[in-house]
């Protein structure tokens, strides 16, 4: 019988000190909640600011003059024209047009800074090295932690700990290097909660010091994976391995907003990424099923894996993420749903323990996002 040894982030001892309940996640021992509890952690992030340890995520540098054009051969996004200190959401696709992972790409000036999902980081790093390693240096950043400060008061906290920056001019999906209490950080104004916020890449040796400084601010509370999941679900954001995977295309995932005109059929740099033909064909002809949002008409939560049926009890889809929305006070879910039923307002039914739970198809995000786009 083999025993899996879980990895630990640089903040592990701090989590224990703060009373976190630790659970296995993507090969790491991670905090799922603190004594405040998931519900209060969720609401605190929506009202003030929460600090998340996301150091299990993969951080990668792509170094070299051809890094942008090389990466563009693996993703259906515009990387070549990504301005310095700008960030972009991207997808690795395979030859069938399915999604290998979703990622964030930042033009850090002298390199591309890439953040990938924890469960995929080893395969993503290998994929990059095998596919474009001759065109640029693929450098893992295992010596760096990643913290996410999220919530409507995140900017005023950052103003206090890193003064001298024009936060009013620093908008969503942009980046800059900062010095916090003498510690160099690379910071993006981004996150996965639907709130304003920042993600800070910090050397492992200094991560705990920066985390303690942020937690010492009156607005900030430590937040675990439980609330991180309910926050991202309310924001209508995909979780890889659940809402998107290597059997789902960007069309089926309802992520076509991320594919710019320049990379689409007829664009100046049309195609040139894995699965382009298949994706363009789906864009033209449509798909049988795609990602959709659902709001429960009753209070019973509907979890991942629940079968969806129509009024005649015919199977029409499957829930891919589900839970209770603390902000709305209702169950919400994302599902892979037959396109015959994806119009907002359509009623469908989830089967939970042989009971049919009525749900209504909803636009996403379920809770309006509050990303800072400038004054």
**Residues 193, 297 within the same domain:** no
**Residues 150, 219 within the same domain:** yes
**Residues 41, 158 within the same domain:** yes
Please give the average per-residue pLDDT across 266-282, as a whole number.
98
CATH number at residue 27: 3.30.1360.120
Q: With cut-offs at 50, 70 and 90, classify the pLDDT of residue 1.
A: low
Q: Residue 245 class from Cβ within 10 Å (0-12 exposed, 13-18 middle, 19+ buried)? A: middle
Q: Which of 110-114, 318-322, 340-344, 351-355 has the lowest mean pLDDT?
A: 351-355
Identify the domain containing residue 292 by its residue range: 288-362
Q: Which two tokens stand for residue 342?
A: 């994806």
Instruction: State pTM to two decimals.
Output: 0.97
Asked whether residue 327 is assigned to any structural domain, the reply reads: yes
Asked whether residue 67 is assigned to any structural domain, the reply reads: no
In tens, the pLDDT along 236-272 reads 999 999 999 999 999 999 999 999 999 999 999 999 9
Asked whether residue 280 is assigned to any structural domain, the reply reads: no
Asked whether residue 271 is assigned to any structural domain, the reply reads: no
Asked whether residue 38 is assigned to any structural domain, the reply reads: yes
In tens, the pLDDT along 140-188 reads 999 999 999 999 999 999 999 999 999 999 999 999 999 999 999 999 9
In tens, the pLDDT along 52-100 reads 999 999 999 999 999 999 999 999 999 999 999 999 999 999 999 999 9
Q: Residue 3 pLDDT > 80, yes or no?
A: no
* Cα 288 to Cα 191: distance, rounded to the nearest angstrom: 31
State whether residue 121 is helix, strand or coil.
helix
Asked whether residue 260 is assigned to any structural domain, the reply reads: no
* Cα 312 to Cα 264: distance, rounded to the nearest angstrom: 39
**Residues 228, 321 within the same domain:** no
Number of domains making up the chain: 2
**Residues 207, 327 within the same domain:** no
CATH number at residue 345: 2.40.30.110
Q: What is the pLDDT of residue 235?
A: 98
**Residues 42, 187 within the same domain:** yes
**Residues 52, 180 within the same domain:** yes
Q: What is the pLDDT of residue 221?
A: 99
Domain endpoint, select from 234, 268, 298: 234
**Residues 48, 166 within the same domain:** yes
Q: With cut-offs at 50, 70 and 90, classify the pLDDT of residue 2.
A: low
Q: In the predicted model, what is the mean pLDDT of the chain?
A: 97
**Residues 205, 336 within the same domain:** no
């Amino acid at each position: 019988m083999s025993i899996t040894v879980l990895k630990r982030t640089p903040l592990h001892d701090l989590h224990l000190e703060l009373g976190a309940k630790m659970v296995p996640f993507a090969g790491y021992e991670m905090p799922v909640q603190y004594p405040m509890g998931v519900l209060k952690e969720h609401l605190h992030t929506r009202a003030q600011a929460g600090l998340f340890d996301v150091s299990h995520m993969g951080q990668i540098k792509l170094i070299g003059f051809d890094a942008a054009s090389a990466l563009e051969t693996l993703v259906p996004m515009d990387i070549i024209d990504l301005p310095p200190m700008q960030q972009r959401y991207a997808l690795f696709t395979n030859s069938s047009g399915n999604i290998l992972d979703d990622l964030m790409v930042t033009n850090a000036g002298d390199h591309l800074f890439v953040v990938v999902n924890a469960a995929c980081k080893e395969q993503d790093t290998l994929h990059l090295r095998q596919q474009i390693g001759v065109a640029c240096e693929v450098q893992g950043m295992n010596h760096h932690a990643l913290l996410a400060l999220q919530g409507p008061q995140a900017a005023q906290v950052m103003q206090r700990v890193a003064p001298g920056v024009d936060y009013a001019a620093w908008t969503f999906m942009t980046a800059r290097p900062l010095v916090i209490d003498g510690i160099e950080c690379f910071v993006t104004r981004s996150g996965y909660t639907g709130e304003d916020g920042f993600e800070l890449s910090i050397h492992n040796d200094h991560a705990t010091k920066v985390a303690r400084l942020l937690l010492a601010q009156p607005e900030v509370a430590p937040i675990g994976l439980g609330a991180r999941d309910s926050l991202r679900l309310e924001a209508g954001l995909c979780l890889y391995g659940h809402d998107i995977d290597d059997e789902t295309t960007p069309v089926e995932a309802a992520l076509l907003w991320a594919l710019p005109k320049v990379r689409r059929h007829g664009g100046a740099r049309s195609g040139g990424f894995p699965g382009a033909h298949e994706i363009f064909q789906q864009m033209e002809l449509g798909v049988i099923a795609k990602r959709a949002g659902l709001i429960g008409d009753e209070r019973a939560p509907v979890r991942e894996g629940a079968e969806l049926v129509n009024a005649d009890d015919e199977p029409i889809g499957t829930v891919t993420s589900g839970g209770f929305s603390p902000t709305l006070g209702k169950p919400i879910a994302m599902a892979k749903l037959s396109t015959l039923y994806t119009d907002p307002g359509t009623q469908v039914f989830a089967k939970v323990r042989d009971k049919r739970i009525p749900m209504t198809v909803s636009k996403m995000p379920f809770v309006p996002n509050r990303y800072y786009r400038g004054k």
